[in-house]
Structure 1
């Protein structure tokens, strides 16, 4: 039996393309003509209830921004056309339930700048057109390996500025298999990556892990896959596994990792010079007594400075 949800009367201004229109309604926000964009901005709509937003006409962008949205009920978004972007940001969401987005034909969903900490296992299932999901600036504590079942085209996932502490096994197993992934996981507190986290992933265009608490990267990350761009700035890395040299890297950034091991740094220097990798080094000075030099790693370059040895009289 379908649960009936009562919607309180709401008054708001909706903008269709560039024309604002004042609406007072008990039930539905409807689009009655073809348009590029429908926006609800700076309103008070605490609950998106059953059948509240109904779009049957041509539309590319639907935005609900800074409108005090706390809950989105399953069935609240009845959207028939293909959307390029569905953005519900700068609201008060804490939970994403299954049934809210399932079946919607949309290329990008942006739920950034909310307070989301709980996402149902099935919340992103059966969104067959979905390619990009942004969950930035929330309170998400884990990546769920069960997300994206029957949503086979998701290639770009961004979860920056959240509360992730680890990347679990099979984290990305349901993401796109036919194009290179773009994964943005910076500004969390990730200290662990499971060796099987990237199982079933063969091609990564960009992997950004800046601003976390990583001390190592698993060798399995670089095994049997291509990683074109790797950014691990501002972590606590000590070394890179030797397997990195076979991963097809084109760009490597690991600024602000002052604990990085000198032996590994010298290996990285040789690797990037042989492979012509675009590099950003941490600022580290390594002493080479055999050559009587200090090898200085800094930003894009390395320098050799004569080592001043103590003199004894």
Structure 2
């Protein structure tokens, strides 16, 4: 299988706004990946996608896409079997049911300007395993945007501007889940992120945020493969922050914690057989995990280049595990 490249040339006829009209993407025989790069397509029109050809992946990279015509990613692209990538464009929102009733496994929207996810933006995608919304401008994560996604396992949200995780924010997950939230602005975490977490394993990566306190019961009744709060300015941890929970590995920073809090975590880890990775905790002989400078979480960087290289390696390994 090969790739059809549409690169640095006009695609169809354009009106004054630059919208492609009446042109269907043509696939070379034997190719299963369409790669469209550096076009000028402010509005992605459905006509472009009405191809009779079958292919696994379609990519729009750096095409100045600001909006997607309604219904484009429903009936119009049933012939795309695996991945849709709209990366490094100018999208500011994902509207209701933009992606629905498809057999896709991945939707990658990283490197846009997305601020809003409308309710049911991702709807009835029974094979979908990965959504990548990294390097956007989300301030609030709307759980109602994700509906009927029974196989969703990977949600990539690094380098956004999310400020809080409200109760039941991840209630749409129904199976083992990996959530990457590094390099946001999260300061507050409410308890009960998802009542299902007692039955499924969550890998929650939140390094490089602004969390100062883990309150009473914030992670209680949850199951974590990884709970990563390294490089957060933790100043206070309740002794009951994780009651009746199951944690394999806990990453945190001791920099602002009192000796009493650090001792409490050490005792908790020993009692519940948790692998502790604490930076700045030499007095307790804890494993030194890593020390990524906070400066790496530059919110103005919206390209596809991730400065938190450690997490890229972790993500690849986790996806391989699935």
> What TM-score do you get using the length of structure 1 for normalisation?
0.78
Residue 166 of structure 1 corresponds to: 164
Is the aligned partner of 1:74 residue 2:74?
no
Is the aligned partner of 1:267 residue 2:264?
yes
More strand by share: 1
Is the aligned partner of 1:17 residue 2:2?
yes
Residue 251 of structure 2 corresponds to: 253
Residue 90 of structure 1 corresponds to: 88
- Distance in 2, matches of 1:182 and 1:193, equals 17
1:43: how far off? 1.7
Residue 207 of structure 1 corresponds to: 204
Residue 219 of structure 2 corresponds to: 222
Provide Cα deviations, 1:76-96, integer angstroms capped at 9, x if missing partner: 342113522211101111121
Task: Check the 8 A contact 2:35/2:60 in 1, yes or no.
Answer: yes
SS class of match (1:229): strand
1:65: how far off? 0.6
The structure-2 alpha-carbon separation of the partners of 1:158 and 1:220, relative to structure 1 and needing over 3 Å to count, comes to farther
Task: From 288, 292, 304, give the equivalent of 1:300.
Answer: 288
SS class of match (1:200): helix
1:274: how far off? 5.1
Residue 113 of structure 1 corresponds to: 111
Task: From 276, 279, 285, give the equivalent of 2:276.
Answer: 279
Provide Cα deviations, 1:201-256, integer angstroms capped at 9, x if missing partner: 3323410111111122344343222111111011121225445375332222113x
Larger relative contact order (CA 8 Å, sep ≥ 6): 2
Task: Check the 8 A contact 1:54/1:79 in 2, yes or no.
Answer: yes
- Distance in 2, matches of 1:269 and 1:24, equals 61
Residue 229 of structure 2 corresponds to: 232
Is the aligned partner of 1:180 residue 2:180?
no
Residue 308 of structure 2 corresponds to: none
Is the aligned partner of 1:244 residue 2:242?
yes
Residue 25 of structure 2 corresponds to: 30
Is the aligned partner of 1:64 residue 2:60?
yes
More helix by share: 2
> What TM-score do you get using the length of structure 2 for normalisation?
0.76
The structure-2 alpha-carbon separation of the partners of 1:40 and 1:212, relative to structure 1 and needing over 3 Å to count, comes to same
Task: Check the 8 A contact 1:219/1:242 in 2, yes or no.
Answer: yes
- Distance in 2, matches of 1:280 and 1:245, equals 19
| Alignment size in residue pairs | 274
- Distance in 2, matches of 1:30 and 1:99, equals 23
- Distance in 2, matches of 1:218 and 1:125, equals 34
Residue 48 of structure 1 corresponds to: 44
Return the index of the structure with the highest Cα Rg. 1
- Distance in 1, matches of 2:288 and 2:238, equals 18
Task: Check the 8 A contact 1:283/1:297 in 2, yes or no.
Answer: no
**Runs of 5+ consecutive residues of structure 1 not aligned to the other structure:** 1-15, 286-294, 302-313
Which region of structure 1 is more displaced relative to structure 2, 206-215 or 238-247? 238-247
Q: CA RMSD in A?
A: 2.5
Task: Check the 8 A contact 1:172/1:199 in 2, yes or no.
Answer: no
Is the aligned partner of 1:197 residue 2:193?
yes
- Distance in 2, matches of 1:114 and 1:160, equals 13
- Distance in 1, matches of 2:52 and 2:240, equals 55
Task: Check the 8 A contact 1:35/1:60 in 2, yes or no.
Answer: no
